[in-house]
Amino acid sequence: MQIAMLAVGDELVDGRFVDTNSQTLARSLARIGHTLREIRVVRDEPGAMRLALDDLGARHEHLFVSGGLGITRDDLTRAVVADWLGEGLVEDSIGVEAIKTKLEERGGRFTEELRGHALRPGSSTGIPNFTGLALGFSAHHAVLAVTVHVLPGVPHELVPMCDWVVGRLQTGMRRQRLLRVQDLTERDVEQRLRTVTIPAEVTLGLVALSGPIELSLTRYDGDEAGLDALAEEVSALFEAHLVGVDTTLERRIAQQLTQRGETLATAESCTGGLLASLITDVPGSSVFFLEGVVSYANASKIARLGVAAETLERFGAVSPQTVGEMAQGVRLALGADWSVATSGIAGPTGGTASKPVGRVYFAVAGPSGTTHDERTWAGRTREVVKRHAAAHALLLLSRAIAAAE
């Protein structure tokens, strides 16, 4: 099934906001065995929107459109799509009643201008908005033989509406396994993959991220057993570097700690809370995660984490000694079973000959003691260093927990 996405909005083209809706659609489609083939982003301009509708509509069976369904002057999607279909807009009476009900529940007041949220092309069917006011709709273009599904651009409104539409599409035969590999370069991964024969029916994808490298194995013939066997063979190539299949480090840590009934705390300097953010992205993380301390200043390291002033004076804030005391201090202060700490020089300034920009020190404290590690990501931006450091800290923690089992 050929499916495309058209995201509408000046703010997306200008870079003020990132289009996450296409990612939402791609993931929703993958769950039922389909692939998003193409993504297009255009401004809130009728001409640009019409050209994109013509082009994408001519080459796809389903076209999802997000954005521009509000009632302000730049919300043009309803009118443009209706004109593209050769139709006028009609008011969806059920949609109007739904808007009134939501406003009553929220203590709001219905005004006549809000009826604009319930306008749709005459031949279309409405898509319920479960969290917001703007009604979505689906319609079929008779000439191009494409079905268009128009959704709001607000992500928290689009997500359930997208799942509602996708759930009504026919399930395909696409099957995929996603492997994540840590602490290897893209070249290292490619060289190891050369030792495995990838069947012609399988598509191999490789994406190098700021952290784990993602390998995707995809096949369309429905042979799930064959795909699992191949995923197992590929996994064996990476041993300790393998994060897992169809999982992430943070999910793996959540599973490890939950199964053991143990708790975790973090102490971060250079990663600035990113490590704690990744951990708490996992639903249910409150079961094992106690607290994350972002201790940037030396005074904070002393007061909050119990780092000795002498350690800071002698070795500096960015040192194995300091990061070790950070990990031990937060574990002791919070009574956690495990803790992980980071301290480094994310850049672009602050480096020295012995501690260059990109150097990060790590410590993991657990029931059996404290382990240390260090990495240097030279020539990387501040953001990339932070992301690499957070990912590596998670890997060290997961390995330490596994070693204690």
Reported as type and span, the H/E element at residue 85 is helix 77-85
Q: Domain 175-245 is of which CATH architecture?
A: 2-Layer Sandwich (3.30)
Q: What is the pLDDT of residue 173?
A: 63
Mean pLDDT of 238-262: 91
Mean pLDDT of 295-320: 97
Dihedral of CA 238/244/249/253: which sign? Answer: negative
Position 171 scores a pLDDT of 59
pLDDT recorded at residue 206: 86
Q: Supply the pLDDT for residue 170.
A: 61
Mean pLDDT for the stretch of residues 190-204? 92
Topology (CATH) of 3-166: Molybdenum Cofactor Biosythetic Enzyme; Chain A (3.40.980)
Both tokens assigned to 125: 């069917």
CA–CA separation, 378 vs 194, rounded Å? 28
140-144, 274-278, 321-325, 369-373: the lowest-pLDDT one: 140-144
Please state the three-class secondary structure of 194-210 as a single string.
CCCCCCCCEEEEEEECC
Of the candidates 306, 326, 311, 337, the one whose C-alpha atom is nearest the C-alpha of residue 372 is 326
Q: Does the structure show a pLDDT above 70 at 250?
A: yes
pLDDT in tens, 90-103: 999 888 999 999 99
- What is the H or E stretch that residue 293 is in? strand 289-294
- Mean pLDDT, residues 274-282 taken together: 95
User: Beta-strand (E) ranges in 104-233?
Assistant: 119-121, 125-127, 136-141, 146-151, 175-181, 202-208, 213-219
- Which H or E element spans position 3? strand 3-8
CATH of segment(s) 249-403? 3.90.950.20
Contact 81, 146 (CB under 8 A): no
pTM confidence score: 0.67
Domain boundaries, the chain: 3-166, 175-245, 249-403
pLDDT tens for residues 44-101? 999 999 999 999 999 999 999 999 999 988 899 999 999 999 999 999 988 899 999 9
**Three-class DSSP labels, 299-366:** HHHHHHHCCCHHHHHHHCCCCHHHHHHHHHHHHHHHCCCEEEEEEECCCCCCCCCCCCCCEEEEEEEE
- For the stretch 165-176, pLDDT in tens is 998 886 566 678
Q: What is the pLDDT of residue 32?
A: 81
pLDDT at 195 over 80: yes
Give Cβ neighbours of residue 268 (< 8 Å, ≥ 6 apart): 274, 275, 276, 292, 293, 294, 295, 341, 342
Average confidence score pLDDT of the chain: 93
81 neighbors 148 (Cβ within 8 angstroms): yes
Q: Which of 93-97, 362-366, 392-396 has the lowest mean pLDDT?
A: 93-97
Q: Give yes or no for residue 257 having a pLDDT over 70.
A: yes
User: What is the pLDDT averaged over residues 266-291?
Assistant: 96
The reply to whether domains 3-166 and 249-403 share a CATH topology is no
Share of the chain above pLDDT 70, in %: 98
User: How many Cβ atoms sit within 10 Å of the Cβ of residue 182?
Assistant: 21
CA gap 269, 319 in Å, rounded: 12
**For 293-304, what is the mean pLDDT?**
97
Q: Helix-strand-coil percent breakdown of the chain, rounded to 5?
A: 40, 25, 35
Contacts 24+ apart (CB under 8 A), 204-213: 210/383, 210/384, 210/387, 210/388, 210/391, 211/182, 211/387, 211/388, 211/390, 211/391, 211/392, 212/180, 212/181, 212/182, 212/243, 212/248, 212/249, 212/391, 213/180, 213/181, 213/182, 213/184, 213/186, 213/189
Euclidean distance between CA atoms 75 and 51, whole angstroms: 17
Token look-up 């143990």 returns 262
Judged against a pLDDT cut of 80, whether residue 219 lies above it is answered with yes
Task: Give per-residue burial for 289-319: e unless 16+ CB within 10 Å, then b.
Answer: bbebbbbeebeebbebbebeeebbeebebbb
Q: What pLDDT shows up at residue 218?
A: 85
Q: Tell me, what's the pLDDT at 395?
A: 93
Mean pLDDT of 190-209: 89
pLDDT of residue 30: 85
Burial 53-83 (b: 16+ CB within 10 A, else e): beebbeebebbbbbbbbbeeeebbbbbbbbb
What pLDDT is attached to residue 172? 60
Which range, of 57-66, 206-215, 334-343, 358-367, averages the lowest pLDDT?
206-215
- DSSP H or E run through 156: helix 155-166
Give CA–CA dist 303/341, Å, rounded.
16
